[in-house]
Amino acid sequence: MKTTDSSTASKHKQSGTHSRNRFLQEAQAEALDHGLIADLANEQIRQMAKEELVRVIKAANPSVLNADCRQRLHLFDQVTLQRLAFLARYCCQNHISRTQISGKGRHARFNSKKK
């Protein structure tokens, strides 16, 4: 019997899955907030599994996605999910920059003074 080979293969498979899903596991330990999503690197997004991408997109809640689209995210292909994750990251970065400028989460401060 090849039980040792199959167990070794399953260990390698699990370790590969473990490293690939590291972001998902770390994110489950702490809530995905806009800061964490805004700080994602391009390579991190490209290496994410579909489930991770869906989770990032849902957590960012970009205003361009309607409710029907959010419910069907799991049906989208990898490339589309990556593009939406990049969009989600951009939305989070924009939200953070507006919050820092205005001190509020809703609206950016409008400075009407001309320089």
Contact yes or no for 91/62 (Cβ under 8 A)? yes
Tell the residue number behind the tokens 């293969």, with chain if given.
Answer: 9
pLDDT score of 21: 59
Count of CB atoms situated within 10 Å of the CB of 47: 14
Residue 56 above 90 pLDDT? yes
What does the pLDDT average to over 62-90? Answer: 92
Q: Where do the domains of the chain lie?
A: 3-102
C-alpha of 86 from chain center: 8
Instruction: Evaluate if residue 93 carries a pLDDT over 90.
Output: yes
Q: What is the mean pLDDT of residues 53-74?
A: 90
User: For 69-77, which contacts have Cβ atoms below 8 Å and span 24 or more sequence positions?
Assistant: 74/50
* pTM, 2 dp: 0.62
Q: Which of 106, 79, 81, 80 is nearest to 94 (CA)?
A: 106
